[in-house]
Amino acid sequence: MPVVAHPKLPSLARLEQEGVVLSTATGTDFPKELHVGLLNLMPDAALQATERQFIRLLASDAQILVHVYPTTVAAVTRSKVTMEYIAQHYNEIGDFFKLALDGLIISGAYPSRLDMSEEPFWKPLIDVVEWAEEYTNSVLCSCLATHALIKHYFDVDRERRPEKSWGVFSHRLLNPTHPLTEGLQEGFMGPHSHYYDLSREKIEGTELEILAEHDEAGFFVATTTDTKLVFCQGHPEYDDQTLLKEYKREINNYMSGTRPDYPPLPANYFSKDAMQTLQDIQQQVTPGGSSLQLPEEKLLEQMEVKWQDSGKILYKNWLKILLQKQHSAT
């Protein structure tokens, strides 16, 4: 399951040990090769984890060597340490625009404005997407990037949900024979983590096709008819511990006073034993307390819901679409 990052990313060292990532980029043993950009808009704390999550999914087809080219935009606020990391290990955006890419992945981002067009990263994001529309064969968007680009291309604004869509949900396949969903099982599981949603009625008024959805959590994946734009509102890239780390962050926000209420548990994520453990911990938590330490390893061992196989199927299908488009262009 080979992936090569250009430049080499130090955060991927453990994936090299698993055979997911190659340290060299010869490509001589692989008849099929793809070049995929990764626009990483995530904040510092999640930057490297996001690299690993997407690269794991790009390693879904053992027959394809995927070259990954990470970049970001200067509008995202960064610490000095992270800026140095990016300067050393990411493609500068001007150089990125000179690459010949088959596809582009755009990560989610941390929202800071109600109107996304007022986000600091909005203009640089649109510049990248409009370049990719002309020079790549498909753009796959995650979470907030999905909301941003559906607003940009289809003038559909996201809406604040009464409660956050948060947890792991079973999805209904609306088009199981579509090239993106082929091989997914009815009721496949997948994570969601978003305060905002896109109205199904408004989406149906565009050329977009919703391929999989959950009645309460919202749509998981949608696409244009030509698969030029693929929109994931769900998070197939999440690893086992991502929702746990989000939950821990929200508890610490409650303790520090930046969140007014104690956070609910992510839906369908923890086992009954894990939920009992966390309920016991909740009784000991008070606002103003010190940073919370959770028994993360024990909690992860008690997880009962898995979704990674479904994520790999979705991304493997996307890679196949990129190959088909690549061959059609030659």
Q: Based on the domain organization, do 44 and 127 belong to the same domain?
A: yes
pTM, rounded to two decimals: 0.94
Torsion 209-214-216-218 (CA) sign = negative
Q: Read off the CATH number of the domain in which 86 is found.
A: 3.40.50.880
Q: Based on the domain organization, do 186 and 312 belong to the same domain?
A: yes
- b/e string for 227-241 if b means 16 or more Cβ within 10 A? bebbbbbbbbbbbee
Q: Based on the domain organization, do 284 and 167 belong to the same domain?
A: no
Query: Do residues 253 and 290 lie in contact, with contact meaning Cβ atoms separated by under 8 Å?
Result: no
**141 part of the active site:** no
3-class DSSP state of 183: coil
Catalytic pick from 35, 89, 171, 235?
Answer: 235
Q: Based on the domain organization, do 76 and 181 belong to the same domain?
A: yes
Token representation of residue 233: 């509102």
Burial of 283 (0-12, 13-18, 19+ CB in 10 A): exposed
- The secondary element (H helix, E strand) that includes residue 33 is strand 32-41
Query: Do residues 211 and 174 lie in contact, with contact meaning Cβ atoms separated by under 8 Å?
Result: yes
Q: Based on the domain organization, do 162 and 263 belong to the same domain?
A: no
Q: How many domains would you assign to the chain?
A: 2
Q: Based on the domain organization, do 140 and 278 belong to the same domain?
A: no
Cα–Cα distance measured from residue 236 to residue 239, given in angstroms and rounded to the nearest whole number: 8
Q: What is the DSSP letter of 21?
A: B
Cα–Cα distance measured from residue 237 to residue 248, given in angstroms and rounded to the nearest whole number: 19
Q: Based on the domain organization, do 43 and 177 belong to the same domain?
A: yes
Q: Based on the domain organization, do 105 and 145 belong to the same domain?
A: yes
pLDDT in tens, the chain (330 residues): 588 889 888 888 888 877 788 766 555 567 889 999 999 999 999 999 999 999 999 999 888 999 999 999 988 889 999 999 999 999 999 999 999 999 999 999 988 888 899 999 999 999 999 999 999 999 999 999 999 999 999 999 999 999 999 999 999 999 999 999 999 999 999 999 999 999 899 999 999 999 999 999 999 999 999 999 999 999 999 999 999 999 999 999 999 999 999 999 999 999 999 999 999 999 988 888 777 788 988 898 877 778 999 999 999 999 999 999 998 876
Helix axes 122-135, 144-154, angle to 10 degrees: 70
Q: Based on the domain organization, do 265 and 186 belong to the same domain?
A: no
Please name the residues in contact with 198: beta carbons below 8 A apart, sequence gap of 6 or more.
146, 147, 150, 156, 158, 159, 218, 219, 233
Q: Based on the domain organization, do 319 and 297 belong to the same domain?
A: no
- The whole domain housing 213 covers 3-239+306-329
Catalytic pick from 51, 237, 246, 250?
Answer: 237
Q: What is the DSSP letter of 10?
A: G
Q: Based on the domain organization, do 65 and 122 belong to the same domain?
A: yes
Catalytic pick from 143, 147, 246, 250?
Answer: 143
Q: Based on the domain organization, do 231 and 297 belong to the same domain?
A: no
**237 part of the active site:** yes
